[in-house]
Protein backbone atom coordinates (compact mmCIF):
# COMPACT_ATOMS: atom_id res chain seq x y z
CA UNK A 1 0.00 0.00 0.00
CA UNK A 2 1.12 3.58 -0.58
CA UNK A 3 -0.16 7.10 0.12
CA UNK A 4 0.29 9.79 -2.51
CA UNK A 5 0.11 13.47 -1.52
CA UNK A 6 -0.28 15.71 -4.52
CA UNK A 7 -0.78 19.46 -4.71
CA UNK A 8 -3.54 20.22 -7.21
CA UNK A 9 -2.29 23.81 -7.65
CA UNK A 10 1.30 23.14 -8.70
CA UNK A 11 1.68 19.38 -9.12
CA UNK A 12 4.21 19.03 -6.30
CA UNK A 13 3.93 15.52 -4.89
CA UNK A 14 5.28 12.92 -2.51
CA UNK A 15 4.69 9.22 -2.23
CA UNK A 16 4.76 7.49 1.14
CA UNK A 17 5.75 3.87 0.77
CA UNK A 18 6.61 1.22 3.37
CA UNK A 19 10.31 1.07 4.21
CA UNK A 20 10.54 -1.21 7.23
CA UNK A 21 9.33 -4.56 8.47
CA UNK A 22 5.74 -3.98 9.55
CA UNK A 23 5.21 -1.60 6.61
CA UNK A 24 6.15 1.64 8.33
CA UNK A 25 6.41 4.66 6.02
CA UNK A 26 8.54 7.63 7.10
CA UNK A 27 6.48 10.82 6.77
CA UNK A 28 8.66 13.87 7.52
CA UNK A 29 11.84 12.86 5.66
CA UNK A 30 9.83 11.96 2.58
CA UNK A 31 7.49 14.96 2.40
CA UNK A 32 10.10 17.56 3.43
CA UNK A 33 12.32 16.31 0.64
CA UNK A 34 9.46 16.97 -1.77
CA UNK A 35 8.76 20.54 -0.62
CA UNK A 36 5.70 19.59 1.43
CA UNK A 37 5.38 19.77 5.17
CA UNK A 38 3.13 18.67 8.00
CA UNK A 39 2.25 22.15 9.19
CA UNK A 40 0.34 21.43 12.36
CA UNK A 41 -1.50 18.71 14.11
CA UNK A 42 -4.27 18.84 16.68
CA UNK A 43 -5.06 16.30 19.33
CA UNK A 44 -7.94 15.70 21.69
CA UNK A 45 -6.69 14.76 25.11
CA UNK A 46 -8.82 13.33 27.88
CA UNK A 47 -7.41 12.55 31.30
CA UNK A 48 -9.40 10.71 33.97
CA UNK A 49 -8.37 10.41 37.58
CA UNK A 50 -8.69 6.92 39.00
CA UNK A 51 -6.57 7.64 42.00
CA UNK A 52 -5.74 5.38 44.89
CA UNK A 53 -6.11 7.10 48.24
CA UNK A 54 -2.38 6.66 48.91
CA UNK A 55 -1.61 8.87 45.88
CA UNK A 56 -4.03 11.60 47.04
CA UNK A 57 -2.53 11.34 50.51
CA UNK A 58 1.02 11.77 49.16
CA UNK A 59 0.01 14.84 47.17
CA UNK A 60 -1.86 16.36 50.10
CA UNK A 61 1.16 15.95 52.37
CA UNK A 62 3.74 17.23 49.88
CA UNK A 63 5.19 20.51 51.09
CA UNK A 64 7.34 21.55 48.15
CA UNK A 65 6.99 21.71 44.39
CA UNK A 66 9.79 19.13 44.17
CA UNK A 67 7.87 16.69 46.40
CA UNK A 68 4.73 17.11 44.28
CA UNK A 69 6.74 16.51 41.11
CA UNK A 70 8.36 13.42 42.57
CA UNK A 71 4.98 11.90 43.53
CA UNK A 72 3.51 12.80 40.12
CA UNK A 73 6.47 11.30 38.29
CA UNK A 74 6.44 8.09 40.35
CA UNK A 75 2.70 7.49 40.60
CA UNK A 76 0.75 9.34 37.90
CA UNK A 77 0.70 6.42 35.46
CA UNK A 78 -0.97 4.16 38.01
CA UNK A 79 -3.51 6.78 39.02
CA UNK A 80 -4.76 8.29 35.78
CA UNK A 81 -6.06 7.14 32.45
CA UNK A 82 -5.18 9.29 29.49
CA UNK A 83 -6.59 9.03 25.98
CA UNK A 84 -5.08 11.02 23.14
CA UNK A 85 -6.69 11.07 19.71
CA UNK A 86 -5.55 12.88 16.61
CA UNK A 87 -8.21 15.31 15.40
CA UNK A 88 -6.43 17.21 12.61
CA UNK A 89 -3.41 16.75 10.41
CA UNK A 90 -2.51 19.60 8.05
CA UNK A 91 -0.19 19.20 5.08
CA UNK A 92 1.21 22.31 3.39
CA UNK A 93 2.78 22.71 -0.03
CA UNK A 94 5.88 24.86 0.41
CA UNK A 95 6.02 25.60 -3.33
CA UNK A 96 2.68 27.39 -3.70
CA UNK A 97 1.16 27.62 -0.21
CA UNK A 98 -1.88 25.40 -0.83
CA UNK A 99 -2.78 23.03 1.98
CA UNK A 100 -5.16 20.33 3.12
CA UNK A 101 -6.45 19.60 6.61
CA UNK A 102 -7.22 15.97 7.21
CA UNK A 103 -9.87 15.56 9.87
CA UNK A 104 -12.68 13.27 11.12
CA UNK A 105 -10.45 10.33 11.90
CA UNK A 106 -13.43 8.83 13.66
CA UNK A 107 -16.99 8.35 12.47
List of residues contacting Zn ion (CB under 5 A): 7, 9-10, 12, 93, 95-96, 98
Nearer to Zn ion (CB atom), residue 11 or residue 18: 11
> Cβ(96)–Cβ(9) under 8 Å?
yes
12 or 71: CB nearest Zn ion: 12
Torsion sign (Cα): 37, 94, 87, 15: negative
The residue among 55 and 93 lying less far from Zn ion, judged by its C-beta, is 93
State which residue, 59 or 96, has the beta carbon closest to Zn ion: 96
Cα distance between residue 35 and residue 95, in whole Å: 6
Instruction: Report, in Å, the least distance between residue 33 CB and Zn ion.
Output: 15
In angstroms, the CA 4 to CA 2 distance is: 7
**Least Cβ distance, residue 49 to Zn ion (angstroms):** 46
Q: How far is the CB of 27 from Zn ion (least distance, A)?
A: 18
Amino acid sequence: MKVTIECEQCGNKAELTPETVGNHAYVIPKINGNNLTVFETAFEKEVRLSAYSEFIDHLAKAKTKEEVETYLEDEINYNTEAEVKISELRIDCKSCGDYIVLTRFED
